[in-house]
Amino acid sequence: MDFNLERVGLTLDGKHRAIEETTLGIAHGERVAVIGPSGAGKTSLLRVLCTALRPTSGRITVEGRDPWSLSREALRRLRARTGTIYQAPPLPPRQRVVTAVLAGRLGRWPLWKSYASLAYPADIPGARAALERVDLAERLFDRCDRLSGGQLQRVGVARVFYQQPELILADEPVSALDPQLADRVVGELNRESMARGVTLVASLHAVDLALRWFPRVVGLRDGAVTFDLPPVRITDSMLTDLYASESPVPPTQDNRLLELPAAHLGPVAGAKQPRCR
């Protein structure tokens, strides 16, 4: 799936300017990391890409078409081709992990199979294989409210692996994981993108993960693109300038752990997040 944003602006609640006249192209199969301080507009940009938010100004095309000119059914089909990973996945607390993973394909199954899977999981081996990729296969039949925030994030990633979408949008997908697990999960996301030739766009707070795994990195600050470069061309001074309003040094996996509240690693089942539908 490919995108083209032409001078796209986004104002939220009639006053907050989340995106400032951004022009950006993303080709089919590209892997792009979006970095920047908190409040830079990273989540808003991903929500525009998945058509959950309509730009206030400018124009976006998806595969050469304006998504907002499509019929309701055509827009639903377009959105069904996207897999979204949230910082706090909106998983029902009492739902079992296996059911949460299999929900990735509900939109592609006939109605009878979707309902039947709620009573008895339709593809236990498939769910287990997806969970193995994020080191969570042993929690297959646990309830979601028995998991920590980091484990729930990995369930959200496994669900997208099982879904096999044409576009993967990941919004801070490893913010509650330790460095080793975070590196493994981001690596798996990249391998998924390369193996199936699908587009991957991920917002990441840890700069080192973006530079290590992605061939293209977009820096975002105050809703505007400050650079759009391969990692080898991004200098320390660029990163320092990007995060100047937040920290004297760019955030990495190591210094992120020093700032991470202990509660962030606890259960967050049922936490509400804006959803891409």
* pLDDT tens digit sequence for 192-237: 999 999 999 999 999 999 999 999 999 999 999 999 999 999 999 9
- Is pLDDT larger for residue 160 or for residue 108? 160
Report pLDDT for 269. 37
**3-state SS class at 190:** helix
Report pLDDT for 261. 44
Q: How many CB atoms lie within 10 A of CB 123?
A: 17
Report pLDDT for 118. 59
Question: How far is residue 277's CA from residue 261's CA, in Å, rounded to a whole number?
Answer: 30
Closest to 81 measured CA to CA, from 96, 95, 70: 70
Average pLDDT on 51-66 reads 95
Q: Is the pLDDT of residue 4 over 60?
A: yes
Residue 271, in any domain of the structure: no
Report pLDDT for 113. 56
Percentage of the chain beyond pLDDT 70 is: 87
Cα 39–chain centre separation: 16
**CA angle, 28 then 49 then 186, to 5°:** 65
- Mean predicted lDDT score pLDDT of the chain: 88
Question: How far is residue 170's CA from residue 189's CA, in Å, rounded to a whole number?
Answer: 9
Q: Is the pLDDT of residue 6 over 50?
A: yes
Residue 106: Cβ-neighbour burial (10 angstroms; 0-12, 13-18, 19+)? middle
Residue 274, in any domain of the structure: no
User: 180-195: string of b/e by CB count within 10 Å (b at 16+)?
Assistant: ebbbbbbebbbebbee
Residue 136, in any domain of the structure: yes
Q: First vs last Cα of the chain: how many Å apart?
A: 16
Residue 276, in any domain of the structure: no
Q: Is the pLDDT of residue 257 over 70?
A: no
Cβ–Cβ under 8 Å, residues 48 and 10: yes
Instruction: Give the number of domains in the chain.
Output: 1
Residue 272, in any domain of the structure: no
Report pLDDT for 271. 38
Residue 243, in any domain of the structure: yes
Question: How far is residue 202's CA from residue 42's CA, in Å, rounded to a whole number?
Answer: 9
| 3-state SS string for 224-237 | EEEEEECHHHCCHH
Residue 52, in any domain of the structure: yes
- Is pLDDT larger for residue 234 or for residue 268? 234
pLDDT digits (tens, 9 = 90+) for 122-155: 789 999 999 999 999 999 999 999 999 999 999 9
For residue 121, the domain's CATH number is 3.40.50.300
**3-state SS class at 139:** helix
Q: Would you place residue 68 in the very low, low, confident or very high pLDDT band (cuts 50, 70, 90)?
A: very high
Residue 111, in any domain of the structure: yes
pLDDT digits (tens, 9 = 90+) for 76-128: 889 999 999 999 888 999 999 999 999 888 766 555 455 555 556 778 999 99
Q: Which domain holds residue 65?
A: 3-265
User: 44-68: string of b/e by CB count within 10 Å (b at 16+)?
Assistant: bbbbbbbbbbebeebebebeeeebe
Percentage of the chain beyond pLDDT 90 is: 77
